[in-house]
Structure formats: structure tokens, C-alpha cells
Amino acid sequence: MQVEILNISGKKTTKKVELADTIFNAEPNDHCIYLDVKQYLANQRQGTHKSKERAEIARTTKKLKRQKGTGGARAGSMKSPLFVGGGRVFGPKPRDYSFKLNKKVKTLARISALSYKAKDNAITVLEDFNFDQPKTKNYVDLVKNLNLNDKKTLLVLGAANKNIYLSSRNVQTAKVISANDLNTYDILNAENVILSESSVKVIESILNK
């Protein structure tokens, strides 16, 4: 499929780019998308949660009352989970939430996500550009020129660009990544995906392996 390339002013240029059907017009696989997004979110978790069990509580171990004759249940110490301030039963412990996912599944998930965006006409191709200095206003004007200022956007660059990244950092609805870091979650989380001209070839070289 052919897509016209826009400049940073939001106007059409004389150039067009051919988006590979194997990536942008493929049959989506929803289960692969689910697995890839699940892995991405799991990897974001620190897993440092921890609560103390009765063996770790610093409280007296003195027997509270006599064993029998009180009419109530036996109680060995104040560390019991039954008392306020006692240990927690089966509380959370530090753990690693990450899990393995095959490369082919991750590739198919990204292809599926891009195909969904292409079917929704939510992909814009922008000619390569650069900012002379990091300035939020420059990025806000860019998004406004593309009529996307009220949408959540993902800008994919062919290579990392510090000035563009820093310019977008204060814009809550914008995210900038390089093509090598493209992932399924970011694609689906954005309402519109903006591809720089150079990023198209990088994406195709990665996903067409």
C-alpha cells in the first residue's frame, strides 16, 4: 500500500512510500497481541512487594493467657495473624514477574498491531526532520500541524534523536521511540502512529526476517 509523505508543516510532499503488505496489511493475530502486551506489562513490574509473616514480626512471644478455662480459643503469642499488628497470612513476597516469549510470537504481535492501525487509517508517514534545540513548542506545533494535537501519538524514528525526544518529553499525550524499540503495547496505546520516512525501512528489515 502506498502512503503519501507529509512534512513537519502537515503538507503533502511529492514523495510516496510503499508500506509492505506483509507488515501493514497482514491478518492480525489477537492471541499473539495479548501475550506480547501481557509480557510487556509484566516486565514493568518491580516485584519488590513484601509483607511480614508471623515469624518475622518483632513482638513478645509471651503466652497471653492460660491454655484452658477461658472459654475462648488458644492463643500462643501476639504474633498470630488473628491479632491486630500480627503477621500476615500468605502475604506477598519479592518475585520476578517476567516470562519468556518466542521471538516469532512477538514479531507477529507487532505486525498485527501495525495492521490494525493501518486498517484504521491511523498511520502517518513524515519526512525525516530534526530540531535545532530541544523545545517543547516545536513538538507541539508539529503535532498541531498534523491535526493530531488532541490525540495520543507515537512517533517512531529511524534512529534515536535527543533533541526530538527531549522536545516531546513534557507532552503528556506524546511518546517518541526509535524503530528498534518498537513494541506492541506502545503501538496499540497510541491513537495515531507517526512513522518517520527512515523508520519504515528499519521496521521492515526487523519484522521481515
Full residue range of the structural domain in which residue 61 is found:
51-91
Check whether residue 9 and residue 73 sit in a common domain.
no
Which pLDDT does position 51 carry in this prediction?
A: 95
Q: Are residues 23 and 82 in the same domain?
A: no
Give yes or no: residues 38 and 60 share one domain: no
**SS3 letters across the chain:** CEEEEECCCCCEEEEEEECCHHHHCCCCCHHHHHHHHHHHHHHHCCCCCCCCCCCCCCCCCCCCCCCCCCCCCCCCCCCCCCCCCCCCCCCCCCCCCCCCCCHHHHHHHHHHHHHHHHHCCCEEEECCCCCCCCCHHHHHHHHHHCCCCCCCEEEEECCCCHHHHHHHCCCCCEEEEEHHHCCHHHHHHCCEEEEEHHHHHHHHHHHCC
Report the range of poorest mean pLDDT among 37-41, 186-190, 205-209. 205-209
Q: Are residues 124 and 29 in the same domain?
A: yes
Specify whether 81 is located in the same domain as 184. Answer: no
d(CA 88, CA 108): 43
Q: At 120, is the pLDDT very low, low, confident or very high (cuts 50, 70, 90)?
A: very high
- pLDDT, tens digit, 9 for 90 and up, residues 27-85: 999 999 999 999 999 999 999 999 999 999 999 888 888 999 999 998 888 999 999 99
> Looking at the predicted structure, is the pLDDT value of residue 152 above 90?
yes
Is residue 118 domain-shared with residue 144, that is, in the same domain? yes
Q: Residue 3 has what pLDDT?
A: 87
Does position 209 have pLDDT exceeding 80, yes or no? no
Q: Tell me the CATH number at 20.
A: 3.40.1370.10
Q: Whole-prediction pTM value? A: 0.84
Residues 12 and 34 in one domain: yes
- Say what the pLDDT of residue 28 is: 94
Span 173-195, average pLDDT: 95
CA distances (Å), 102 to each of 7, 39, 56, 108, 154, in order?
38, 11, 40, 10, 25
Same domain as 85, residue 65: yes
pLDDT at 64: 87
pLDDT at 39: 97
Which pLDDT value is given to residue 31?
97
The structural domain count of the chain equals 2
Query: Is residue 22 domain-shared with residue 61, that is, in the same domain?
Result: no
Mean pLDDT, range 197-205, rounded to an integer: 93
pLDDT score, position 61: 85
Same domain, yes or no, for 57 and 41? no
Please check whether residues 17 and 113 belong to one and the same domain: yes
Cα distance between residue 116 and residue 95, in whole Å: 34
Candidate from 10-19, 30-39, 126-135 with smallest mean pLDDT: 10-19
